[in-house]
Amino acid sequence: MIGKRGKATLLLYMIFLAVLFLMCSTDLIIREPEKEIYQIAVIIEDSRDDNYGSFRKGMDQAALELNADVRFFTLYEKLDADQQMELIGREQQDGADALIVVPADEDRVVDALAGHQVTVPMVLLGSGLTGEGVTGTVVVDYGKMGELLGQKMAEHMDEHRTVLVFSDPSAQSGASRRFLEGARTVMEEEGILCRLVVRDGEQGFKPFTESLDAEGQVLILAESPEILAETAGILAELPDLSRRVSLYGRGSTLPVLNYLDRGLIRGLCVTDEFSIGYFSVGMAVEALETAGTRSSAVMDSWYIEKDDLRDPAYEKMLFPIE
């Protein structure tokens, strides 16, 4: 039998367990404070732009690891600077802790920063802007990318010394302009003539492409991923011509990679879009956690052909897993 002393000890033990249970089930115990979730607004030109899928996956991965909530916004018109500035202002008012922006108009962004209209950290993508208010930059040197592609095209050419450059000046971005300048500089130094072919309104490049001589070799350089995919799609409908055309460009959307795999595109320049998205979120969070921190990253470019799609290194970069 349990004596009075034992009963008292048992009662005290039960009371202790009951108090401990209450403390664990309420806020009586000091708990580790929850980490703040950083609100980051991403304002880009167009979700259909080259490599958006991999770019988004990189951002989502960084957000998961760094305790961030990333909200995406795209412009109704690709280069609508007015709408972009409205979104920047609205997102700040709605509580965004940081912004990640692909500038539609770099001058407008500079003016906003100089005028202190941007009051939260801002990371810029695809822009070399630096100075007051710029938290970080993640850029691709499109000029060097164009030089790399120009060198590869020059190596592949024999007696063919003319390249058709498919361009759309009305929708040309800074990236496309720098890319073409790099490629044309290298090829012209090699004595290769670059002939400009401008988009024909709503008909695009189809009338010109269909008029090409199917008996001769043709080399085409597309200035943007969109034009590259469009041209490859036209060639897919013209098998006799496609066998005599060597098509080159930049970007790594799934349609572009599929056309490369089918042999309708000869060579591509690509970047690691997953890492661009990942680094940009990392820079924004770092700026929030360490006031005044500024950083920059210049991404590398690679030239690939059909066989490289099976290379594990490129496969991981071009087809990142969720």
Q: What is the pLDDT along the chain (322 residues), one digit of tens a residue?
A: 555 566 566 566 667 666 666 665 555 555 555 667 999 999 887 654 445 778 888 999 999 999 999 998 888 776 688 888 899 999 999 999 999 988 888 788 888 887 888 889 889 887 766 666 778 888 889 999 999 999 999 988 876 678 999 999 887 877 888 999 999 999 999 888 999 999 988 889 999 988 887 677 889 999 999 999 999 999 999 998 898 899 999 998 889 999 999 999 999 999 998 999 999 999 999 988 887 667 888 889 999 999 999 999 898 888 876 5
pLDDT given at position 295: 80
Contact 241, 235 (CB under 8 A): yes
What gap in Å lies between CA 139 and CA 59, rounded to an integer? 15
What gap in Å lies between CA 48 and CA 253, rounded to an integer? 9
- Tokens encoding 262: 């089918």
- Tokens encoding 31: 């708990």
Please report how the helices 142-156 and 174-189 are oriented relative to each other, as an axis angle in degrees rounded to 10. 40
- The continuous run of DSSP H or E covering 241 comes out as helix 239-242
What gap in Å lies between CA 302 and CA 279, rounded to an integer? 19
Q: Is the whole model's pTM more than 0.75, yes or no?
A: yes
pLDDT given at position 271: 92
> Strand pairing partners for 195?
164
For residues 57, 168, 128 and 289, what is the CA-based torsion angle, rounded to 10 degrees?
A: -30
